[in-house]
Every structure is written in C-alpha cells, then in structure tokens.
Amino acid sequence: MYTWLEASWQQLNQARLQDRLPHALLIRGQDGVGKQALALHTAGALLCEQPDAEGNACGRCAACGWLQAGTHPDLIRLEPAEAGKAIKVDQIRELGSALAMTSHGGRHKVAIIRPAEAMNVNAANSLLKTLEEPAADTLLLLLSAAPGRLPATVRSRCQQLAVATPDTAQARQWLQSEGLGADTVLRYLELADGAPLRAREMAEADSAALRDQRLEQLAAVGSGRMDPLQAAKDWQGDAQRQSLEWWRLWLQALIRWKLADRPPQEPDVVQKLQQFTERVDCCQMFDLSDRIAKALNSMGSGLNQQLVLEDLLISWARLPKRTGARTRAGNR
C-alpha cells in the first residue's frame, strides 16, 4: 500500500474487521492519488481466502490468483466502454443483476465504478435502486475526482472517504524511491498537481517517447542522416545518463544477436539497428559499450560531458558503412 494511503486503508480495514463496512462507499480524491489502488486493496482483503493479520490479501490463494489475473468473478469493475465516454444504464443494470446473485467464493461481492461521475443520468438513476436495496455482503466502491458532478441522491446514499493528496515531501520521497531523479520528480509533481501516481505516469510516458527518439537518433547518426554533434547537444542534460544506459543496453542486445543469433526482444531495435549488426564486428561494439560504461562512471567527475558525448557519437557515426551497398553500386 502506498505510504500516503496508509491512514485511509487503516480506516477501511478497521471497518472490515468490525463488520461495519457500508454497502456503498464514495472514495473521493484527485486523479493519480491512488483511489483505485485503495479500492483494489480493499477488494483483495474482502475476497482473499486468508488475509494476513494486517488485513492484506495473501497473494497466494486461488482468489488472489484470480484477482491478479483480473478474472475474479466476485469483483466487478465498471468503467466507460471507451475512455472519456459515459457509463451507460445497461452497464448499471448488468451490475445490479450480478450483485443480486450469490457470490462465487462464498464471501463478498465487490464492485468498483470508475470514474463514478461518468455515469449518465439514466445510469445514475438506475444505480439508485441498487443503493436503496443493497444485496447482502456487497460493497459498491464509487471512485471520483469530481464528486460534485454526481447526483446528490447518489452521494447521499454513500458513505464518503476522502483521499488526501500527500504533502510534497512524502510524494517526492516516494517518486525518488521509484527511481526518478530529484529534478525530474519536482517537474512532474508540479505538472501532476501533486498527485504522485499521475506524476509517475507522466514521467513514464515521456520517458518512453524519449527512448524512441534516442533510438531513432542513433539510427540516423549511424547511417549519416544526422550530425553526431547535433545529437550530442541534444543528449546532454537531465536525460544523459538514461540515454547512455539505453544505448549500452541496445549495443549489448546487438552483440548477443551477433554472437548467439538471438535477436533483441524489442522489435523497433531490430528494425532500426539491424543494419549495424550486419556491418560492424563484435569487437567494435564491445569497445563502444565499454566506453559508454566509462562515460557513465565519469558523470559528475568534472569531465566535459559535451565532449564525452561528441566523442562517443562520432565513433558511432564512423563505424564502417554497409559494404553490400557499396559493392552493388561499384558493379554498375
């Protein structure tokens, strides 16, 4: 459980242990603060066959297996059919029928509606019936970042739990423990308005885009379509370490490909860098990989990082060009 959700979780767990969980709970809180994690953790505690002393799901029983696979028949997750669209009345009616049936595991039935404010008027009206006549041992969890957009009739029939956004120090500490650098953490935390999970999601999305760009740049520099000095300029800064680490991993994948005939697992690496394995021998790739490792070790040592990057990328640009193409041209 995320550290900042601990208090909310304790509250829910106490209610669970004392058998006074409501039939319907509206979990309010900003996007990216962990409402869904809290709901799933609670569902786990209710559905697991042997939760531990703290109330956490055991992670080993059959029920936990189904939960992890997303196939537990007593956990119903209701979301719009498409992101950004409404939750429709048919979905709520189906939910009503599913909750009316006996539970598969002989324990609770749990439904998570997310985001609850996505229910259109008819759906919300239909949900009222379920809220007014709840089946035994059912827990409805409504998650919402905008509870004000839910009809008052729905809100008033739910107990409410507000999940607070953690303070900056706590959020920073967690994001750093997730491996993000201090500067990156500050930037994304601000963009995400303090919500740690949203901040991590944004950082990961940007990181994936950057990885694709670095791969493309290497292919371009290596085949003479991009000036290595331009690339070096681009690589310097916050993401330099990450960029060099990617490059080194790709080189190692290419070396394995050449030596053991095992192509890299990432299809775009195969597509973009295949030409280099055809023309470069393993010694050259080992050599470059070593130099990248040294460059990584030298970071922060006062060495001019611009020069280090230029040196590496120029070497990459100077690797032998594809000989096959030259031969064909020469034969003409």
Shortest separation between residue 72's beta carbon and Zn ion, angstroms: 11
- With tokens 């709520």, the residue in question is 92
Task: Return the number of the residue (104 or 233) whose C-beta is nearest Zn ion.
Answer: 104
What is the phi-psi region of residue 123: left when phi exceeds 0, alpha when psi lies from -120 to 50, beta otherwise?
alpha
Give the binding-site size for Zn ion (rule: CB under 5 A).
5
* Sheet with 109-113: strands ordered across: 75-78, 109-113, 138-144, 24-28, 159-162
Task: Return the number of the residue (44 or 228) whose C-beta is nearest Zn ion.
Answer: 44
Task: Return the number of the residue (6 or 52) whose C-beta is nearest Zn ion.
Answer: 52
Provide the token pair at 54: 């703290």
Half-sphere exposure of 10 (CA within 13 A, CB side): 5
Provide the token pair at 275: 């030409």
Task: Return the number of the residue (59 or 80) whose C-beta is nearest Zn ion.
Answer: 59
Residue 24: beta bridge partners?
A: 140
Size (the chain), residues: 332
List the one residue out of 50, 54, 53 whose CA is nearest residue 1.
54
Applying the rule CB under 5 A, the residues between 41 and 100 that interact with Zn ion are 48, 57-58, 61, 64
Task: Return the number of the residue (32 or 55) whose C-beta is nearest Zn ion.
Answer: 55
Task: Return the number of the residue (60 or 129) whose C-beta is nearest Zn ion.
Answer: 60
Provide the token pair at 86: 């409404």
Applying the rule CB under 5 A, the residues between 102 and 141 that interact with Zn ion are none
Task: Return the number of the residue (58 or 135) whose C-beta is nearest Zn ion.
Answer: 58
Provide the token pair at 110: 């749990």
Shortest separation between residue 105's beta carbon and Zn ion, angstroms: 10
The torsion angles phi and psi of 77, rounded to 5 degrees, stand at: -110, 115
Provide the token pair at 18: 């004392």
Provide the token pair at 218: 């290497």
- How many other C-beta atoms lie within 10 A of the C-beta of residue 5? 20
Task: Return the number of the residue (72 or 248) whose C-beta is nearest Zn ion.
Answer: 72
Check residue 276 and report its DSSP letter: H
Shortest separation between residue 57's beta carbon and Zn ion, angstroms: 5
Task: Return the number of the residue (64 or 254) whose C-beta is nearest Zn ion.
Answer: 64
Amino acid, single-letter form, for residue 204: E
Residue 75: beta bridge partners?
A: 110
Shortest separation between residue 25's beta carbon and Zn ion, angstroms: 22
Shortest separation between residue 43's beta carbon and Zn ion, angstroms: 12
Shortest separation between residue 75's beta carbon and Zn ion, angstroms: 13
Applying the rule CB under 5 A, the residues between 234 and 273 that interact with Zn ion are none
Provide the token pair at 332: 């003409």
Shortest separation between residue 62's beta carbon and Zn ion, angstroms: 8
How buried is residue 302: exposed, middle or buried, by Cβ count under 10 Å (0-12/13-18/19+)? Answer: exposed
Shortest separation between residue 99's beta carbon and Zn ion, angstroms: 22
- How far is Cα 48 from Cα 38, in angstroms, rounded to an integer? 15
Provide the token pair at 106: 């002989």
Shortest separation between residue 112's beta carbon and Zn ion, angstroms: 18
Which residues contact Zn ion (rule: CB under 5 A)?
48, 57-58, 61, 64
